[in-house]
Structure 1
Protein backbone atom coordinates (compact mmCIF):
# COMPACT_ATOMS: atom_id res chain seq x y z
CA UNK A 1 0.00 0.00 0.00
CA UNK A 2 1.25 3.49 -0.78
CA UNK A 3 1.22 6.33 1.72
CA UNK A 4 -1.16 8.41 -0.41
CA UNK A 5 -3.91 5.81 -0.09
CA UNK A 6 -3.37 5.46 3.65
CA UNK A 7 -3.45 9.22 4.25
CA UNK A 8 -6.40 9.70 1.89
CA UNK A 9 -8.54 7.08 3.59
CA UNK A 10 -7.53 8.36 7.03
CA UNK A 11 -8.78 11.82 6.06
CA UNK A 12 -12.10 10.38 4.81
CA UNK A 13 -12.50 8.38 8.04
CA UNK A 14 -11.85 11.54 10.08
CA UNK A 15 -14.45 13.55 8.17
CA UNK A 16 -17.01 10.77 8.53
CA UNK A 17 -16.63 10.48 12.30
CA UNK A 18 -16.86 14.28 12.71
CA UNK A 19 -20.18 14.33 10.82
CA UNK A 20 -23.08 14.19 13.32
CA UNK A 21 -24.88 10.90 13.18
CA UNK A 22 -26.44 8.14 15.30
CA UNK A 23 -23.15 7.13 16.95
CA UNK A 24 -22.27 10.66 18.02
CA UNK A 25 -25.76 11.44 19.29
CA UNK A 26 -25.99 8.20 21.25
CA UNK A 27 -22.57 8.57 22.88
CA UNK A 28 -23.17 12.20 23.79
CA UNK A 29 -26.60 11.48 25.24
CA UNK A 30 -25.43 8.49 27.24
CA UNK A 31 -22.32 10.24 28.54
CA UNK A 32 -24.34 13.21 29.77
CA UNK A 33 -27.19 11.15 31.22
CA UNK A 34 -25.17 8.48 32.94
CA UNK A 35 -21.57 9.68 33.08
CA UNK A 36 -18.29 9.07 31.31
CA UNK A 37 -18.07 5.42 32.38
CA UNK A 38 -21.38 4.65 30.68
CA UNK A 39 -20.22 6.56 27.60
CA UNK A 40 -17.01 4.54 27.36
CA UNK A 41 -18.86 1.24 27.85
CA UNK A 42 -21.18 2.27 25.02
CA UNK A 43 -18.11 3.19 22.95
CA UNK A 44 -16.79 -0.37 23.32
CA UNK A 45 -20.01 -1.57 21.71
CA UNK A 46 -19.63 1.00 18.93
CA UNK A 47 -16.07 -0.18 18.37
CA UNK A 48 -17.25 -3.78 18.03
CA UNK A 49 -19.72 -2.60 15.37
CA UNK A 50 -16.81 -1.07 13.43
CA UNK A 51 -14.91 -4.36 13.71
CA UNK A 52 -17.95 -6.26 12.40
CA UNK A 53 -18.18 -4.04 9.32
CA UNK A 54 -14.44 -4.24 8.73
CA UNK A 55 -14.55 -8.04 8.68
CA UNK A 56 -17.56 -8.00 6.35
CA UNK A 57 -15.71 -5.70 3.96
CA UNK A 58 -12.53 -7.78 4.11
CA UNK A 59 -14.41 -11.00 3.39
CA UNK A 60 -16.52 -9.42 0.65
CA UNK A 61 -19.85 -10.10 2.37
CA UNK A 62 -20.80 -6.41 2.51
CA UNK A 63 -20.39 -6.06 -1.26
CA UNK A 64 -22.56 -9.15 -1.80
CA UNK A 65 -25.28 -7.78 0.50
CA UNK A 66 -25.45 -4.41 -1.20
CA UNK A 67 -25.33 -5.92 -4.66
CA UNK A 68 -28.79 -7.29 -3.87
CA UNK A 69 -30.86 -4.27 -5.02
CA UNK A 70 -33.91 -4.72 -2.79
CA UNK A 71 -31.87 -5.28 0.36
CA UNK A 72 -29.63 -2.31 -0.38
CA UNK A 73 -32.57 0.00 -1.12
CA UNK A 74 -34.40 -1.05 2.05
CA UNK A 75 -31.38 -0.36 4.27
CA UNK A 76 -30.67 2.90 2.47
CA UNK A 77 -34.22 4.28 2.74
CA UNK A 78 -34.70 3.21 6.37
CA UNK A 79 -31.37 4.79 7.27
CA UNK A 80 -32.29 8.03 5.51
CA UNK A 81 -35.68 8.15 7.28
CA UNK A 82 -33.94 7.71 10.62
CA UNK A 83 -31.55 10.56 9.86
CA UNK A 84 -34.50 12.78 8.86
CA UNK A 85 -36.18 11.96 12.17
CA UNK A 86 -33.01 12.93 14.03
CA UNK A 87 -32.75 16.15 11.99
CA UNK A 88 -36.33 17.11 12.85
CA UNK A 89 -35.67 16.36 16.51
CA UNK A 90 -32.77 18.81 16.42
CA UNK A 91 -34.52 21.76 14.74
CA UNK A 92 -38.13 21.51 15.94
CA UNK A 93 -39.17 24.35 18.31
CA UNK A 94 -39.31 22.04 21.31
CA UNK A 95 -36.17 20.21 20.31
CA UNK A 96 -33.17 19.91 22.57
CA UNK A 97 -29.49 19.85 21.84
CA UNK A 98 -28.00 16.35 22.17
CA UNK A 99 -25.55 17.94 24.61
CA UNK A 100 -28.35 18.87 27.02
CA UNK A 101 -28.76 16.67 30.09
CA UNK A 102 -31.87 14.46 30.00
CA UNK A 103 -33.36 12.59 32.95
CA UNK A 104 -33.15 9.09 31.51
CA UNK A 105 -33.09 5.85 33.52
CA UNK A 106 -29.67 4.32 33.97
CA UNK A 107 -29.01 1.23 31.88
CA UNK A 108 -26.95 -1.77 32.87
CA UNK A 109 -23.44 -2.22 31.50
CA UNK A 110 -24.66 -5.00 29.22
CA UNK A 111 -27.44 -2.84 27.78
CA UNK A 112 -25.05 0.09 27.30
CA UNK A 113 -22.67 -2.17 25.39
CA UNK A 114 -25.48 -3.74 23.35
CA UNK A 115 -27.05 -0.41 22.42
CA UNK A 116 -23.67 0.97 21.36
CA UNK A 117 -23.14 -2.06 19.14
CA UNK A 118 -26.63 -1.95 17.61
CA UNK A 119 -26.52 1.82 17.06
CA UNK A 120 -23.36 1.42 15.01
CA UNK A 121 -24.52 -1.77 13.31
CA UNK A 122 -27.68 -0.02 12.06
CA UNK A 123 -25.79 3.12 11.05
CA UNK A 124 -26.12 3.37 7.24
CA UNK A 125 -23.28 5.87 7.06
CA UNK A 126 -20.78 3.25 8.21
CA UNK A 127 -22.08 0.58 5.82
CA UNK A 128 -21.97 2.97 2.89
CA UNK A 129 -18.44 4.09 3.80
CA UNK A 130 -17.15 0.53 3.76
CA UNK A 131 -18.99 -0.30 0.55
CA UNK A 132 -18.32 2.76 -1.61
CA UNK A 133 -15.33 4.56 -0.12
CA UNK A 134 -12.90 1.92 1.09
CA UNK A 135 -12.54 0.13 -2.30
CA UNK A 136 -11.32 3.37 -3.89
CA UNK A 137 -8.18 3.22 -1.75
CA UNK A 138 -7.32 -0.41 -2.47
CA UNK A 139 -4.66 -1.41 -4.99
CA UNK A 140 -6.14 -4.37 -6.88
CA UNK A 141 -2.67 -5.65 -7.76
CA UNK A 142 -2.08 -6.43 -4.08
CA UNK A 143 -3.89 -8.44 -1.42
CA UNK A 144 -7.41 -7.01 -1.15
CA UNK A 145 -8.01 -8.81 2.16
CA UNK A 146 -4.79 -7.46 3.70
CA UNK A 147 -5.45 -3.91 2.51
CA UNK A 148 -9.05 -4.04 3.76
CA UNK A 149 -7.84 -5.06 7.21
CA UNK A 150 -5.22 -2.29 7.30
CA UNK A 151 -7.60 0.46 6.15
CA UNK A 152 -10.43 -0.82 8.34
CA UNK A 153 -8.13 -0.84 11.36
CA UNK A 154 -7.17 2.77 10.62
CA UNK A 155 -10.85 3.74 10.44
CA UNK A 156 -11.56 2.03 13.76
CA UNK A 157 -8.58 3.69 15.45
CA UNK A 158 -9.52 7.17 14.22
CA UNK A 159 -13.21 6.77 15.03
CA UNK A 160 -12.65 5.37 18.51
CA UNK A 161 -10.15 8.12 19.38
CA UNK A 162 -12.49 10.92 18.23
CA UNK A 163 -15.51 9.35 19.91
CA UNK A 164 -13.51 8.91 23.13
CA UNK A 165 -12.83 12.67 23.13
CA UNK A 166 -16.55 13.30 22.53
CA UNK A 167 -17.45 11.10 25.50
CA UNK A 168 -14.84 12.74 27.72
CA UNK A 169 -15.83 16.34 26.91
CA UNK A 170 -19.59 15.88 26.46
CA UNK A 171 -20.36 17.31 29.90
CA UNK A 172 -18.07 20.31 29.43
CA UNK A 173 -19.65 21.16 26.10
CA UNK A 174 -23.09 20.73 27.62
CA UNK A 175 -22.34 23.28 30.36
CA UNK A 176 -20.96 25.74 27.81
CA UNK A 177 -24.04 25.47 25.61
CA UNK A 178 -26.35 25.78 28.62
CA UNK A 179 -24.73 29.11 29.47
CA UNK A 180 -24.69 30.29 25.86
CA UNK A 181 -28.14 29.73 24.36
CA UNK A 182 -27.14 31.44 21.09
CA UNK A 183 -24.39 28.89 20.47
CA UNK A 184 -26.75 26.11 21.56
CA UNK A 185 -29.30 27.16 18.94
CA UNK A 186 -26.63 27.39 16.23
CA UNK A 187 -25.36 23.95 17.20
CA UNK A 188 -28.85 22.44 16.98
CA UNK A 189 -29.58 23.93 13.56
CA UNK A 190 -26.13 23.03 12.25
CA UNK A 191 -26.56 19.44 13.37
CA UNK A 192 -30.07 19.30 11.92
CA UNK A 193 -28.85 20.66 8.59
CA UNK A 194 -25.97 18.20 8.37
CA UNK A 195 -28.27 15.28 9.21
CA UNK A 196 -30.81 16.45 6.62
CA UNK A 197 -28.18 16.80 3.88
CA UNK A 198 -26.75 13.40 4.72
CA UNK A 199 -30.25 11.88 4.50
CA UNK A 200 -30.84 13.53 1.10
CA UNK A 201 -27.47 12.24 -0.11
CA UNK A 202 -28.40 8.70 0.95
CA UNK A 203 -31.88 8.91 -0.64
CA UNK A 204 -30.47 10.20 -3.95
CA UNK A 205 -27.67 7.63 -3.69
CA UNK A 206 -24.97 10.15 -4.65
Structure 2
Protein backbone atom coordinates (compact mmCIF):
# COMPACT_ATOMS: atom_id res chain seq x y z
CA UNK A 1 0.00 0.00 0.00
CA UNK A 2 1.40 3.36 -1.04
CA UNK A 3 1.09 6.57 0.97
CA UNK A 4 -1.20 7.90 -1.77
CA UNK A 5 -3.54 4.94 -1.36
CA UNK A 6 -3.57 5.38 2.42
CA UNK A 7 -4.33 9.10 2.03
CA UNK A 8 -7.24 8.25 -0.26
CA UNK A 9 -8.53 5.78 2.32
CA UNK A 10 -8.31 8.39 5.09
CA UNK A 11 -10.21 10.85 2.91
CA UNK A 12 -12.91 8.26 2.28
CA UNK A 13 -13.29 7.54 6.00
CA UNK A 14 -13.43 11.27 6.80
CA UNK A 15 -16.24 11.73 4.27
CA UNK A 16 -18.07 8.80 5.84
CA UNK A 17 -17.63 10.27 9.33
CA UNK A 18 -18.96 13.70 8.33
CA UNK A 19 -22.50 12.35 8.64
CA UNK A 20 -23.22 11.89 12.38
CA UNK A 21 -23.94 8.30 13.29
CA UNK A 22 -25.61 6.66 16.31
CA UNK A 23 -22.31 6.44 18.20
CA UNK A 24 -21.63 10.15 17.73
CA UNK A 25 -25.08 11.10 18.97
CA UNK A 26 -24.60 8.77 21.92
CA UNK A 27 -21.34 10.52 22.85
CA UNK A 28 -23.12 13.87 22.75
CA UNK A 29 -25.82 12.56 25.07
CA UNK A 30 -23.50 10.78 27.52
CA UNK A 31 -21.06 13.68 27.80
CA UNK A 32 -23.90 16.13 28.46
CA UNK A 33 -25.06 14.23 31.55
CA UNK A 34 -21.83 12.57 32.73
CA UNK A 35 -19.03 14.90 31.66
CA UNK A 36 -16.40 14.58 28.95
CA UNK A 37 -13.87 12.49 30.88
CA UNK A 38 -16.45 9.87 31.85
CA UNK A 39 -17.83 9.81 28.32
CA UNK A 40 -14.46 8.50 27.16
CA UNK A 41 -15.54 5.14 28.62
CA UNK A 42 -18.41 5.16 26.11
CA UNK A 43 -15.96 5.94 23.30
CA UNK A 44 -13.78 3.05 24.48
CA UNK A 45 -16.77 0.69 24.34
CA UNK A 46 -17.62 1.82 20.83
CA UNK A 47 -14.05 1.41 19.60
CA UNK A 48 -13.80 -2.02 21.24
CA UNK A 49 -16.76 -3.18 19.16
CA UNK A 50 -15.16 -1.64 16.07
CA UNK A 51 -11.95 -3.60 16.68
CA UNK A 52 -13.91 -6.84 16.93
CA UNK A 53 -15.82 -6.00 13.73
CA UNK A 54 -12.58 -5.25 11.88
CA UNK A 55 -11.04 -8.53 13.05
CA UNK A 56 -14.12 -10.45 11.91
CA UNK A 57 -13.98 -8.72 8.55
CA UNK A 58 -10.30 -9.59 8.27
CA UNK A 59 -11.04 -13.23 9.03
CA UNK A 60 -13.44 -13.35 6.11
CA UNK A 61 -16.56 -13.89 8.21
CA UNK A 62 -18.54 -11.10 6.57
CA UNK A 63 -20.23 -13.43 4.09
CA UNK A 64 -21.43 -15.74 6.85
CA UNK A 65 -22.69 -12.85 8.94
CA UNK A 66 -24.41 -11.26 5.99
CA UNK A 67 -26.34 -14.47 5.41
CA UNK A 68 -27.68 -14.40 8.97
CA UNK A 69 -30.33 -11.76 8.43
CA UNK A 70 -32.45 -13.01 11.33
CA UNK A 71 -29.46 -12.73 13.66
CA UNK A 72 -28.84 -9.20 12.43
CA UNK A 73 -32.39 -8.17 13.28
CA UNK A 74 -32.26 -9.64 16.78
CA UNK A 75 -28.99 -7.94 17.68
CA UNK A 76 -30.06 -4.64 16.15
CA UNK A 77 -33.44 -4.36 17.87
CA UNK A 78 -32.09 -5.49 21.22
CA UNK A 79 -29.64 -2.60 21.05
CA UNK A 80 -32.35 -0.17 19.94
CA UNK A 81 -34.68 -1.27 22.74
CA UNK A 82 -31.91 -0.91 25.34
CA UNK A 83 -31.18 2.69 24.31
CA UNK A 84 -34.87 3.63 24.21
CA UNK A 85 -35.29 2.21 27.70
CA UNK A 86 -32.30 4.17 29.02
CA UNK A 87 -33.49 7.41 27.45
CA UNK A 88 -37.09 7.03 28.61
CA UNK A 89 -35.99 6.22 32.16
CA UNK A 90 -33.75 9.29 32.24
CA UNK A 91 -36.50 11.63 31.03
CA UNK A 92 -39.05 10.22 33.51
CA UNK A 93 -36.52 10.59 36.31
CA UNK A 94 -36.05 14.28 35.45
CA UNK A 95 -39.76 14.87 36.12
CA UNK A 96 -39.84 12.98 39.42
CA UNK A 97 -36.72 14.40 41.07
CA UNK A 98 -35.62 17.94 41.89
CA UNK A 99 -32.34 18.09 40.03
CA UNK A 100 -31.35 21.38 41.65
CA UNK A 101 -31.60 19.95 45.14
CA UNK A 102 -30.46 16.39 44.57
CA UNK A 103 -26.94 15.30 43.59
CA UNK A 104 -26.56 14.53 39.91
CA UNK A 105 -26.50 10.80 39.24
CA UNK A 106 -23.46 9.59 37.35
CA UNK A 107 -23.56 6.24 35.61
CA UNK A 108 -20.73 3.82 36.36
CA UNK A 109 -17.83 3.62 33.94
CA UNK A 110 -18.77 0.00 33.24
CA UNK A 111 -22.29 1.08 32.29
CA UNK A 112 -20.98 3.89 30.09
CA UNK A 113 -18.59 1.48 28.35
CA UNK A 114 -21.47 -0.95 27.78
CA UNK A 115 -23.57 1.78 26.16
CA UNK A 116 -20.86 2.46 23.60
CA UNK A 117 -20.17 -1.20 22.96
CA UNK A 118 -23.84 -2.15 22.56
CA UNK A 119 -24.57 0.78 20.27
CA UNK A 120 -21.73 -0.15 17.93
CA UNK A 121 -22.25 -3.92 18.18
CA UNK A 122 -25.99 -3.46 17.49
CA UNK A 123 -25.00 -2.71 13.92
CA UNK A 124 -23.38 -6.05 12.97
CA UNK A 125 -23.46 -5.12 9.29
CA UNK A 126 -20.45 -2.95 10.11
CA UNK A 127 -18.46 -6.16 9.58
CA UNK A 128 -19.76 -6.26 6.01
CA UNK A 129 -18.94 -2.55 5.64
CA UNK A 130 -15.31 -3.11 6.63
CA UNK A 131 -15.10 -6.21 4.43
CA UNK A 132 -16.34 -4.17 1.46
CA UNK A 133 -14.21 -1.09 2.21
CA UNK A 134 -10.79 -2.59 2.88
CA UNK A 135 -10.30 -4.51 -0.42
CA UNK A 136 -10.62 -1.24 -2.33
CA UNK A 137 -7.33 -0.09 -0.83
CA UNK A 138 -5.37 -3.33 -0.51
CA UNK A 139 -2.51 -4.27 -2.79
CA UNK A 140 -2.16 -7.92 -3.85
CA UNK A 141 1.58 -7.45 -4.27
CA UNK A 142 2.14 -6.92 -0.55
CA UNK A 143 1.33 -8.92 2.58
CA UNK A 144 -2.32 -8.40 3.49
CA UNK A 145 -2.05 -8.52 7.29
CA UNK A 146 0.08 -5.35 7.70
CA UNK A 147 -2.22 -3.51 5.28
CA UNK A 148 -5.39 -4.54 7.12
CA UNK A 149 -3.69 -3.56 10.39
CA UNK A 150 -2.86 -0.08 9.05
CA UNK A 151 -6.37 0.44 7.65
CA UNK A 152 -7.99 -0.79 10.86
CA UNK A 153 -5.82 1.34 13.16
CA UNK A 154 -6.37 4.38 10.95
CA UNK A 155 -10.13 3.94 11.20
CA UNK A 156 -9.98 3.54 14.99
CA UNK A 157 -7.88 6.70 15.40
CA UNK A 158 -10.15 8.78 13.13
CA UNK A 159 -13.30 7.48 14.83
CA UNK A 160 -11.77 8.15 18.24
CA UNK A 161 -11.11 11.78 17.27
CA UNK A 162 -14.68 12.23 16.04
CA UNK A 163 -16.13 10.62 19.17
CA UNK A 164 -14.02 12.86 21.39
CA UNK A 165 -15.15 15.93 19.45
CA UNK A 166 -18.80 15.06 19.99
CA UNK A 167 -18.03 14.39 23.64
CA UNK A 168 -16.51 17.86 23.96
CA UNK A 169 -19.62 19.37 22.36
CA UNK A 170 -21.85 17.60 24.86
CA UNK A 171 -19.71 18.83 27.74
CA UNK A 172 -19.90 22.39 26.37
CA UNK A 173 -23.70 22.19 26.28
CA UNK A 174 -23.78 21.03 29.90
CA UNK A 175 -21.52 23.83 31.11
CA UNK A 176 -23.83 26.41 29.54
CA UNK A 177 -26.68 25.25 31.76
CA UNK A 178 -26.75 26.27 35.41
CA UNK A 179 -27.55 23.84 38.21
CA UNK A 180 -31.11 25.18 38.25
CA UNK A 181 -31.43 23.93 34.69
CA UNK A 182 -29.87 20.55 35.38
CA UNK A 183 -33.28 18.97 34.79
CA UNK A 184 -33.02 20.06 31.15
CA UNK A 185 -29.59 18.48 30.91
CA UNK A 186 -31.14 15.18 31.97
CA UNK A 187 -34.00 15.56 29.49
CA UNK A 188 -31.66 16.51 26.66
CA UNK A 189 -29.47 13.52 27.43
CA UNK A 190 -32.48 11.18 27.58
CA UNK A 191 -33.78 12.52 24.28
CA UNK A 192 -30.32 11.98 22.81
CA UNK A 193 -30.37 8.32 23.83
CA UNK A 194 -33.77 7.83 22.20
CA UNK A 195 -32.56 9.69 19.10
CA UNK A 196 -29.52 7.41 19.01
CA UNK A 197 -31.80 4.36 19.07
CA UNK A 198 -34.01 5.72 16.28
CA UNK A 199 -30.99 6.62 14.15
CA UNK A 200 -29.49 3.19 14.72
CA UNK A 201 -32.73 1.49 13.70
CA UNK A 202 -33.14 3.72 10.65
CA UNK A 203 -29.58 3.24 9.42
CA UNK A 204 -29.71 -0.52 9.86
CA UNK A 205 -33.09 -0.72 8.11
CA UNK A 206 -31.82 1.40 5.23
CA UNK A 207 -28.76 -0.84 4.90
Structure of greater Rg: 2
1:169: which partner in 2? 169
Cα displacement string for residues 106-161 of structure 1 (whole angstroms, at most 9, x for unaligned residues): 32111111221121112356334312222211123322222111101100011101
2:123: which partner in 1? 123
Structure 1 stretches of 4+ moved >4 Å: 76-80, 173-176, 202-205
2:159: which partner in 1? 159
Q: TM-score, normalised by structure 2?
A: 0.65
1:146: which partner in 2? 146
* Alpha-carbon offset, residue 78 of structure 1: 7.4
The equivalent position to 2:72 in structure 1, one of 65, 71, 75, is: 75
Q: Distance in 2 between matches of 1:42 and 1:29?
A: 11
Q: CA RMSD in A?
A: 3.6
Tell me: higher relative CO, structure 1 or 2? Use CA pairs within 8 A at least 6 residues apart: 2
Number of residues paired by the alignment?
171
Sort the Cα spacing of 1:128 and 1:44 in 2 relative to 1 into closer, same or farther, 3 A. same
Q: Distance in 2 between matches of 1:32 and 1:161?
A: 18
Q: Distance in 2 between matches of 1:36 and 1:56?
A: 30
Q: Distance in 2 between matches of 1:199 and 1:8?
A: 28
Flag structure 2 segments of 5+ consecutive residues without an equivalent. 84-98, 177-191
Q: TM-score, normalised by structure 1?
A: 0.66
Sort the Cα spacing of 1:121 and 1:78 in 2 relative to 1 into closer, same or farther, 3 A. closer
* Alpha-carbon offset, residue 3 of structure 1: 2.1
